[in-house]
Chains A and B, each alone.
Chain A
């Protein structure tokens, strides 16, 4: 019979010629001493004030307009921050001040003072020359404001919107703000209201962190707190919880992705600090994260928002347990049977391949194990969380076949009377050794050269753990 080999399947689509390989088998040595600190620390903090210059800002707080109050207080705060912190830059954009309300100009927004160090005096003098009068194109101003920041990955950018009323140019400040966060341009905007009608608070809350103020003092304090928050270090702690709710689980690798782009941001191995608490991380506070904990299968927690300048605690339940398939014996080093794990809910995919006597972590669930001994052993098991789950399998025995001629042979188990093929092979006159699990087997064989099916013979034999069974096939 002639068999033709006209079906070639190249896995991964790469067909590589032999010649290439001669060069590629080079010993490459690489050292991984380099340590990645992965601590987020900006070189500069940039804060953009978006100031409301619309007609309503003419309303009075005490004896002065809201606008006059706001610009004086801002100048004061900026001056004091700049003196204490050399790594801060401020900029000011004002809307609604160039055209009268009757003109209904919805593009009335302008960056009056761009980012620079020590801007306080300039801000003071520029703002003195303008007075409020027009519309409130809030969304439009935020959108333009995003472009006021120079391109600089080492900068932590914030927007502080100061306003006394809502958008009145049919813009959608919420979606503009969300796009800003998604693109990781700035922190979620802060909005400081100047006595805003409480019915309108929710509209501001959807675009950022909103504070309303009633007078000069509370305005001054609120803006001060916000600036301090943006300058503070943001820290994060990930608590991996055991069933009692305590953060005792550790040593698991995890990845933080940017929620919007899906990009990998950080990879860490979870660690306990000297005090036995989950060690603190310093993550970029800009953006929203997805956390993936690399257990088998992995655990995901999505949409994690960090509060800037604060210590954030992210808690995740990790109901995982350890699994070990134990096999002991003298020749255990030669036993390379692998253990395949599949979730009972996803039998089509191998979750992990584990070695005998190795312990690995899995989420508590029902699993189907295939242990690739000969014959294979199948185990369905429920993995108990926070426990060492142990499954024991016997070590193999050796079948040594001696045959005076070349034979075709099949080995069967005969559980419940049905002959189940374990392996089929052809032997030469050399002794043929095979690893088999302990148990009773039957070998069916025939001389390769015989034309007579009735010359088929069979023989039962027993394999004992760690021992050699010799069978002589006449």
Chain B
């Protein structure tokens, strides 16, 4: 079994020129003395780790080191700085690792987060594929937030999340530690050694991706949008990631299987599709996509009467000259769009058409609509008729009266209108009424028919 995994590891690593540096972070707190079937947790962890170290030592371009915590002070001392780099990250150190592990006796507490923070310095700022593998049986004993780990590492150019292998973690602890990285829990000797091997295999062969969403200046500043990776062959969605800036303000690194080609969809408005995304195995891949965006703010100007009729005013966005609907934006809201020219159809009465609105990088284009007035029509009888606007001398119907409603409330843009109506039961056309009225912005008008 061990041999076989070693072969796999070797064959994978052979393709990679990049140096892989693995730091094992080993829990030597008192509780590691607890018994599992076949020995104490410490014994099991130690022997599995020694075996893995043997396999790794055979591979070129792989270096390893060991940091241990909870082994220098007694448990009652509650020393939250009980953590030491026992074996520096290097090649040809498997013998020293074995020897050192034999010397250590678990006895203290679990300064887990502190140890990970110290691990940053253990990599010595060397640019390589730097990987942390944590082996622990409990939560941080020093009241530190496990979720702070990822941003801390990102700030120090360690973009791969730690692999954390738990030994009989309680389920509450497991939930709390999920944000630390890739978390696994094990409950037996066999499960532990298998998981450790898998984690090491994965960490060596890991393929990572960084998606740069470029602004208009070619700088990767755009973010906070969902991205879907589809299997290019089957079309099925494989990954969804919110594009995120890491703690260094750079596009975050994601781990993605290199086993297939992807179609990448960036869910900007409108969406961006990038076909033929191919990843180089075992490498850090960077894809750059132009996704320059700006904002459109759609607001009413002036006093806004509180009326459901006004809340219904929406803004339809189309790409300039095109008919396909890009988005429906609610009134008094701000939304983000790809830069470019858009046509707006605003569902005021009468409709407001704005052509060739420009959305520019990082800027907010303000669309200000004069606040409509609210027209209330009270009818003493059922009426046929409509509201008209005179446009280029022509009567244009903008609203048809609802026959059955005795009262109608309509939001209308400021301006002059005509209402033409007659009673449903009238038997002569000369009861038709043609009347002009004027609506002021933010005002209200009541018409009695």
Contacts and interface: CB of A to CB of B under 8 A. Distances in A.
Interface string A264-289: 10111111111000111100000000
B418 interface: yes
Contacts of A314: none
B30 to A, nearest CB: 31
Nearest to B210: A453
A33 to B, nearest CB: 7
Interface stretch (A186-194, A215-223, A417-425): A417-425
B259 interface: no
A31 interface: yes
Interface in A1-41: 1-12, 14-16, 18, 20-22, 24-39
A1 B362 CA distance: 8
A153 B118 CA distance: 99
Nearest to B449: A32
A179 interface: no
Contacts of A268: 420, 429, 432, 434
B190 interface: no
Contacts of B244: 446, 450-453
Contacts of A298: 397
Given A253-B397, A264-B393, A444-B240, A9 B312 contact: no
A28 B447 CA distance: 9
A25 B161 CA distance: 59
**Range class of the A interface residue count:** 35 or more
B230 to A, nearest CB: 7
B443 interface: yes
A376 interface: yes
Contacts of A264: 390, 393, 395
A376 B388 CA distance: 29
B431 to A, nearest CB: 7
B218 interface: no
Interface in B174-189: 179
Nearest to B448: A31
A222 B446 CA distance: 56
B365 interface: yes
Interface stretch (B7-15, B94-102, B196-204, B298-306): B298-306
Given A269-B422, A372-B314, A294 B429 contact: no
B36 interface: no
A25 B364 contact: no
Contact of A4 (B362, B433, B440): B362
A11 B400 contact: no
A405 to B, nearest CB: 11
Nearest to A238: B429
Given A26-B443, A417-B236, A36 B314 contact: no
Contacts of B301: 10, 15-16
Contacts of A6: 363
Contact of B303 (A21, A278, A452): A21
Interface of B: 147, 150-151, 154, 161, 179, 221, 224-226, 228, 230, 235-237, 240-247, 252, 254-255, 265, 267, 269, 271, 294-295, 297, 301-303, 305, 308, 311-312, 314, 316, 323, 325, 328, 345-347, 351-352, 354, 357-358, 360, 362-371, 384-386, 388, 390, 393-395, 397, 400, 402, 413-414, 418-422, 424, 426-435, 437, 440-449
Pairs A-B, 3 closest by C-beta atoms: A267-B434, A279-B429, A271-B429
Interface of A: 1-12, 14-16, 18, 20-22, 24-39, 251, 253, 255, 257, 262-264, 266-274, 278-281, 292, 294, 296, 298, 336, 338, 340, 347-348, 350, 352-353, 358, 360-361, 370, 372, 376, 408, 410, 412, 414, 417-419, 421, 424, 444-446, 450-456, 458
